[in-house]
Amino acid sequence: QVQLVESGGGSVQPGGSLRLSCAATGYTDSYYVMVWLRQDPGKEREAVACIDSEASTTYADSVKGRFTISKDNAENTMFLQMNSLKQEDTAMYYCAADRGRCSDYDDLSLADFAYEGQGTQVTVSA
C-alpha cells in the first residue's frame, strides 16, 4: 500500500524558510510524477511544484525563484525548500504522486493523482 507522509511544516515570519519532506512508502514504480500542492481555506488548490522520474521540474509562477523541489531516490523522499516566504504562502501543503511526467499535465492544480498525503500546515505571519 502506497503512503505519502508530509513533514516539516510550521510557523515562520515573512522572509523565513522552511523545508518540507514527503516520504513515500510502498511506491515502487520507476516512472512517476510527484507534486507539491497547497490549499488555504476559501482558496483554490494550487500546484506549486512538480518533479518526475526524469528529474524534470516545473514551478508555479507564484513560487519561482523562491521554492526548490528535489528528491532523494535512495530514501524515496521528496523535498520542497521554501525561501523568502510570504504571508500568501500560508496553506496546507500536500504531496501527491502518480505515474507520468510533469509535462503530461495541462494544469497540475486540477489533476487527480493516484496518491495524496494528509498534508502539513505552513503558516507565515509577522
Q: What is the pLDDT of residues 20-79, one digit of tens each?
A: 999 999 887 888 999 999 999 989 999 999 999 999 999 999 999 999 999 998 889 999
d(CA 55, CA 61): 19
Q: Check residue 30 and give its pLDDT.
A: 83
What DSSP character marks residue 110? G
Computed over every residue of the chain, the mean pLDDT equals: 95
Spell out the alpha helix ranges (H) of 6-116.
none
Q: Check residue 75 and give its pLDDT.
A: 86
Query: Does residue 94 have a pLDDT over 90?
Result: yes
Q: Check residue 34 and give its pLDDT.
A: 97
Whose cell is 513533514? That residue is: 7
Q: Check residue 64 and give its pLDDT.
A: 98
d(CA 24, CA 5): 7
Cα–Cα nearest to 95, from 60, 61, 49: 49
Cα–Cα nearest to 76, from 25, 3, 8, 19: 25
Cα–Cα nearest to 67, from 55, 94, 85, 53: 85
Q: Check residue 1 and give its pLDDT.
A: 86
CB proximity list for 41: less than 8 A, separation 6 or greater: none
Q: Check residue 29 and give its pLDDT.
A: 81
